[in-house]
Amino acid sequence: MKHWAKIAVAASLLFAGAAHAQTQTGFAAPVESSIQSVLPRMIAWRRDFHEHPELSYEEVRTARIVAAHLRSLRMEVRTGVAQTGVVGVLRGGRPGPVIALRADMDALPVTEEGELPFRSRARGTYNDQDVGIMHACGHDTHVAILMAAASVLAARREEIAGTIIFVFQPSEEGAPPGQMGGARRMLAENVFGDLQPEAIYGLHAWPAASGTVTMVSGPFMAGSDRLDITVTGSQTHGAQPHAGIDPIVASSQIINALQTVPSRQMDAVRSPVIVTIGSIHGGVRYNIIPQTVEMQGTIRYLNPETRDELYERIRRTITETAAATGATAEVTITENAIPTVNPPALMARTRAAAVRALGEERVLTGLPVMPAEDFAYFQQAVPGVFFFYGVNPPGVTPEEAAPNHNPRFFVHEPAMETALRAMVAVALDRVSE
């Protein structure tokens, strides 16, 4: 671990157990008192979840802890929504709007390399392989933050004008083959019951400055779909390539040609696109040209309006490049996530609430990014805002920090207080008189 990371761990351990010192003035005294009192438990929950991560649709232990906490707050609780999801309903003492707050619970098939005292040593099975399991994307913090927000808001139950739905979602990181992802499955299973929220909010840990949140109006995170390509040629001896059709050569030309889709076939300003081939398999022996080559990749895009055009160009580029070599290509595109788009008017109100709670200098305006989030499916059903909170230790730049999904991904725990304050602020903005 780098020297800065060791210092950061020490700092987290020192400050996380006590109410820590970000001076804020955006809340009434009783709310501020509730925030301060819940901080040690929030950190303890996070560490417990980090040490005991669970893969998609295996979040049994996490869900059990979440449900028990919500019941202790006298909420209406549903479990087993989308297999392992949990939904809690907090009905305020006064009539008002319905809103929803969401956190994702699943971990990744990543073996942790950090030196935290609560590092994960969990192992499991993913794609029939034995793998390490780690909260390498910060979902452990998301769950703990929303549990803490539930505590703060439930303490003000009689003053709340409206209803808050707490959604703890499984399987954000991608469902097992043949299954539906967590957000879509929760919606299909009537996650909101007989209630209809007027807004939903979610957040995500991100390698940016601790103590900040980043809010982007409009397209924020990319759509993400899987690309599967099977190139078929004609098997032959490696010394007689003319006697067959080489799918390996055809595949290499397809990989190069695909890069012309974002760079030469799509408007780079109107429709930012990434096409990545991450896996290629073909052949069994050094001197045999194989019959087929299989490739898998990912497609990322920000503009939903250009998606059909993008896919048409991808299919055409692949099939016609293969045909030019005498091979054929079969193309399958499978939807994983649609773009996360924050409605401008709702984002403006959300940002104003965050500024009141955190201060103007802590609420940043960033640029869209190409990772994806299935929170976007909730935004199809309910107007929603998704934002980042920075998790880097002081003095660590985004370029120096390990990115999400990295075995050394690191969360500076005092940053979680900022996320908690932001989530409480945007909720109270809707259900407080």
pLDDT reading at 15 higher than 80: no
**CATH assignment at residue 298:** 3.30.70.360
Number of domains present in the structure of the chain:
2
* Domain-terminating residue out of 279, 312, 337: 337
Same domain, 366 and 386: yes
* Domain-terminating residue out of 306, 337, 368: 337
Q: Residue 247: name the closest of 259, 235, 255 by CA.
A: 235
In tens, the pLDDT along 401-419 reads 999 999 999 999 999 999 9
Mean pLDDT along residues 214-227 = 96
pLDDT reading at 22 higher than 90: no
If you ran DSSP here, which 8-state letter would residue 108 be given?
A: B
Same domain, 421 and 326: no
* 411: Cβ contacts below 8 Å, ≥ 6 apart: 12, 46, 138, 141, 205, 391
Mean pLDDT along residues 129-139 = 97
Same domain, 189 and 229: no
For residue 292, give its domain range.
Answer: 223-337
Same domain, 196 and 182: yes
Taking phi first (over 0 means left), then psi (-120 to 50 degrees means alpha), and beta for anything else, what does residue 82 get?
left
What is the pLDDT of the chain when averaged over all its residues? 93
pLDDT score recorded for residue 81: 98
Q: Where are the beta strands (DSSP E) in 233-322?
A: 236-237, 273-282, 288-289, 292-301
In tens, the pLDDT along 335-352 reads 889 999 999 999 999 999
Same domain, 36 and 96: yes
**Residue 184 or residue 8, greater confidence:** 184
pLDDT reading at 2 higher than 90: no
Same domain, 364 and 269: no
Q: Structure tokens of 97?
A: 């709007």
Report yes or no: 258 and 188 within 8 Å, Cβ to Cβ.
no
Same domain, 360 and 303: no
Categorize the per-residue pLDDT at 25 as very low, low, confident or very high, splitting at 50, 70 and 90. low
Active site residue 106: yes
Categorize the per-residue pLDDT at 328 as very low, low, confident or very high, splitting at 50, 70 and 90. very high
pLDDT score recorded for residue 176: 82
Give the active site residue among 58, 104, 172, 374: 172
Same domain, 201 and 232: no
Same domain, 216 and 352: yes
* Domain-terminating residue out of 337, 359, 374: 337
Same domain, 364 and 319: no
pLDDT score recorded for residue 7: 38
What global pTM score does this model have?
Answer: 0.90
Same domain, 240 and 315: yes
Give the active site residue among 58, 106, 112, 246: 106
Active site residue 172: yes
* 198: Cβ contacts below 8 Å, ≥ 6 apart: 97, 98, 99, 382, 383, 430
Same domain, 47 and 94: yes
In tens, the pLDDT along 166-178 reads 999 999 998 887 8
Report yes or no: 246 and 233 within 8 Å, Cβ to Cβ.
yes
